[in-house]
Amino acid sequence: MKKLILLFSLIAILALSTLGFADTVQIGTGTATTSYLPIYGFYGYNYTQQIYLQTQINKSGNITKLRFFYVSGAITNSKDWVIYMGHTTKTSFSSTTDWVPLANLTQVFAGDVSSYLPAANNWMEIPLTTPFNYNNTDNLVIAVDENTSGYASMSWGAFTSGSNTGIYYYSDSVNPDPASPPTATSRTGSIDRIQLVFPNTSAPLAPTLLYPSNGGWAFTNDVLSWIPTMGAGDASTYDVYFGTASNPPLVSSNQTATTYTPTLAAGTTYYWKVVARNEIGDSPASDIWSFKTPTTTQLAESFEGSFPPAGWANPGSWTRYSTYYKHGTASAYKYGSTTTQYILSTPKVTITSTSTLDFWALCSPASGILQIVYSPDRTTWTQVGSDITFAATYTWYHNVIDLSSLAGNNYYLGFRTGLQSASFYVDAVFGPEITPEAPGPVTLTSPANGATMVSTLPTFTWTAPTT
């Protein structure tokens, strides 16, 4: 264990020291958020300034891009920004009127930033129209003037810097003039995590692969995705290697997107890796990851179509829900009760000694308990595996339930809510092969049994089997 701690410390020290020489300088780490900076989306108009210390930056040169960490919220009503940068000897704002004057600032960007907004919890990169040549002697002030009326809450990545290193004004009625800013609404030490991008002096680091997870399942319409790894030169393009060989061939070169859409066959194991490139050179290749696709007859469900899916049964009245999902755009959802447990049943599956039920689940509040159950007849259900608990609310957790104790049987599997008032969500379900089954009996409807006086040319009608 001590060796492990030593290793992690070493990695941490390496990571920190690399950061200082990086072409991209990140200031602030962690997962804290703020609503107030760089703009307070919940108010019509904003003017903010934030001070980043020379000791936090420690790199001189042209800043060509600025990144804020976008957490959530719609930007439609907060999209028109003017961004300024400047050198300052201030280390904090001494009062709510202690703005850095506009005369000491350089306008580096003006325009609509909505096209730069990434998916939630990603860096929003704003290319500067005028790069800012930072002297690495003074501190850096970044000012944002937001000029779109209307509002919607937004959230941004933050960290705790020195006290009063952020100052902000917001108003629904007054659009502040950066040349004569009003008395600020407030000051704060919780300012934005940012990245300052300098021209590259080194090749990028190997990209970080995201999805499909290594050794995991993927649906046959899935897309490969990765993110650049910070700490060296910025990646401008990527080479993608993909295929069924364990050292896969190049399939896409110099692409700018951080996704690749492969053609996937059912029941196949694939391998992939990505190389990042820039004008200096190529990164080392990422690790080689593999994933497998389900066969056409395997339990594999993302709840994207009609609900319940074909072959499933829904005695517990679960519903398809599109607010939370792990895969695609929807999941299966049920609100639990303290008196009744609600089951969503899979088709009957053929369980072998290597069978698992692999799925993602989310719960709110975290006190909910989900159970996996099995049944030969969808009437009598027995739990398999332990109760599934949730360490945190509104967080997707990956679960792999070992079904080997049921090997040799064909059973229906079920997701069963515990006796808690909680919202349960299930998505991206992969399980054993679905048991081939003859259809159940049809129900005759007309002519009625024993009917008399029936037409000599009767029309026979019946309803389809329900199983």
Where do contacts with Ca ion occur on this chain (CB under 5 A)?
A: 302-303, 325, 327-328, 330, 427
Taking alpha carbons only, the member of 335, 355, 337 closest to residue 346 is 355
Closer to Ca ion by CB, 8 or 394: give it. Answer: 394
Minimal distance, residue 45 CB to Ca ion, in Å: 39
Q: How far apart are CA 428 and CA 330, in angstroms?
A: 10
Give Rg (Cα) of the chain: 29
Q: How far apart are CA 212 and CA 230, in angstroms?
A: 21
Closer to Ca ion by CB, 156 or 325: give it. Answer: 325
Minimal distance, residue 378 CB to Ca ion, in Å: 23
CB 85, CB 27: distance < 8 Å = no
Closer to Ca ion by CB, 293 or 420: give it. Answer: 293
282 DSSP 8-state letter: B
Q: Which long-range contacts (CB under 8 A, 24 or more apart) does 385-388 make?
A: 387/418, 388/361
Query: Can you say how many angstroms the Cα of residue 71 is from the centroid of all Cα atoms in its chain?
Result: 10
Minimal distance, residue 333 CB to Ca ion, in Å: 11
Closer to Ca ion by CB, 192 or 427: give it. Answer: 427
Minimal distance, residue 169 CB to Ca ion, in Å: 42
CB 75, CB 113: distance < 8 Å = yes
Query: Nearest 10 degrees: CA dihedral of 461, 463, 464, 466?
Result: -160
Minimal distance, residue 269 CB to Ca ion, in Å: 22
Minimal distance, residue 112 CB to Ca ion, in Å: 32
286 DSSP 8-state letter: P
Here the tokens at position 93 are 């704002």
Mention every residue, 6+ apart, whose C-beta is less than 8 A from residue 426.
Answer: 303, 331, 332, 344, 359, 360, 361, 370, 415
Closer to Ca ion by CB, 270 or 303: give it. Answer: 303
Closer to Ca ion by CB, 273 or 326: give it. Answer: 326
Closer to Ca ion by CB, 286 or 302: give it. Answer: 302
Residue 130: count of CB within 10 angstroms of its CB: 14
SS (H, E, C) 299-319: EEECCCCCCCCCCCECCCCCE
Mention every residue, 6+ apart, whose C-beta is less than 8 A from residue 283.
Answer: 203, 204, 205, 206, 207, 229, 232, 235, 275, 276, 277
Closer to Ca ion by CB, 169 or 318: give it. Answer: 318
Closer to Ca ion by CB, 111 or 328: give it. Answer: 328
Minimal distance, residue 425 CB to Ca ion, in Å: 10
275 three-class SS: strand
Minimal distance, residue 131 CB to Ca ion, in Å: 43
Closer to Ca ion by CB, 198 or 303: give it. Answer: 303
Minimal distance, residue 410 CB to Ca ion, in Å: 26
